[in-house]
């Protein structure tokens, strides 16, 4: 893809096609800077007639210790960029709980994913260090939905979203690599030079826990969209 905008538009098109052909699809959603233009495109598609009324959505992760109305919680992110602007009834969108007992929140979310059944299309961003969701380097392929400690690298990368002096949470609840890989299709997006090393390890390196994004190669239906900058390290 020539640039980040074209890659985001292509990803949004694929999601819109899934919803048009399967109006009650289960969509797995992601957050982060990369996804903001994807949601902008989907909101536009909705204004032009695409309905999300029967879709169910499950998010990949949530910081532990942030109330849902904290501006940096993924609850707030999803409301701001997508859920408040489309016709998905609120009871059909699920994000891990970021407050209270962390292990209980992870258990509840794992049970919810089990009840909902396979995700039809899982959207994924690639972290600077090759993480997917908050499955950090070192995560085995069969890791389940759980509480994780965020790496210093990830907390540093996400600092930019937090106010000066505010602490980036150290823990999160994340969908596990096992659940992610059980989706019917995966759709990953990586843009910008900062993702070049991670993308090259994911695609050209060994399939290895050091780079959880490398697991994507084992999925029978995974499409990865990247712009020129993120692809610049590929062989």
| 131 binding ligand F6R? (CB under 6 A) | yes
Q: Would residue 59 show up in a list of annotated catalytic residues for this protein?
A: no
Q: Which of 133, 186, 196, 213 binds ligand F6R (CB under 6 A)?
A: 133
Close Cβ partners of 103 (under 8 Å, ≥ 6 residues apart): 147
Binding span for ligand F6R by CB under 6 A among 7-15, 29-37, 83-91, 211-219: 29-37
Does residue number 181 form part of the binding site for ligand F6R (CB under 6 A)? Answer: no
The rounded distance, in Å, linking the Cα atoms of 191 and 230 is 5
The reply to whether 129 belongs to the active site is: yes
Active site residue 193: no
Residues 53-72 that bind ligand F6R (CB under 6 A): 60-61
Whole-angstrom distance, CA of residue 177 vs CA of residue 67: 25
Contact string 90-129 vs ligand F6R (x = CB under 6 A):
-----------------------------------x-x--
CA 127 vs CA 21, 81, 174, 214, 220: distances in Å: 30, 20, 14, 12, 22
In the complex, least distance from residue 153 CB atom to ligand F6R, rounded to whole angstroms:
10
Smallest gap from residue 202 Cβ to ligand F6R (A): 12
The alpha-helical segments, DSSP class H, found in the chain are 4-21, 36-47, 74-81, 102-116, 152-158, 177-181, 196-204, 228-231
Q: Which is nearer to ligand F6R, 52 or 134 (CB)?
A: 134
Q: Which residue has the tokens 């990953």?
A: 188
- Spot the catalytic one: 41, 46, 59, 61: 61
State how far the alpha carbon of 214 is from the alpha carbons of 132, 182, 184, 194, 211, in Å: 9, 15, 18, 17, 6
- Does residue 33 touch ligand F6R according to CB under 6 A? yes
Task: Choose the binding region for ligand F6R from 20-28, 103-111, 131-139, 176-184 (rule: CB under 6 A).
Answer: 131-139
Query: In residues, how long is the chain?
Result: 235
Strands 56-59, 121-125: pairing kind: unpaired
Catalytically active residues are 61, 129, 131, 136
């Amino acid at each position: 893809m020539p640039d980040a905008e074209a890659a985001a538009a292509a990803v949004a098109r694929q999601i819109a096609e899934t919803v048009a052909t399967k109006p009650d699809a289960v969509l797995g959603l992601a957050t982060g800077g990369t996804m903001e233009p994807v949601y902008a495109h989907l909101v536009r598609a909705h204004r032009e007639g695409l309905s999300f009324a029967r879709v169910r959505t499950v998010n990949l992760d949530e910081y532990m210790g942030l109330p849902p109305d904290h501006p940096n919680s993924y609850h707030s992110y999803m409301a701001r960029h997508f859920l408040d602007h489309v016709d998905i009834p609120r009871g059909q969108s699920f994000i891990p709980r970021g407050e209270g007992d962390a292990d209980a929140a992870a258990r509840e979310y794992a049970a919810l994913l089990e009840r909902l059944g396979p995700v039809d299309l899982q959207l994924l961003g690639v972290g600077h260090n090759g993480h997917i969701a908050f499955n950090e380097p070192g995560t085995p392929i069969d890791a389940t939905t759980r509480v994780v400690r965020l790496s210093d690298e990830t907390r540093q990368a996400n600092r930019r979203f937090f106010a000066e002096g505010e602490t980036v949470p150290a823990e999160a609840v994340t969908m596990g690599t096992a659940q992610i890989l059980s989706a019917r299709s995966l759709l990953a997006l990586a843009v910008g030079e900062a993702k070049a090393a991670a993308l090259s390890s994911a695609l050209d390196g060994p399939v290895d826990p050091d780079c959880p994004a490398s697991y994507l190669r084992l999925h029978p239906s995974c499409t990865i969209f990247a712009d020129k900058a993120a692809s610049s390290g590929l062989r």
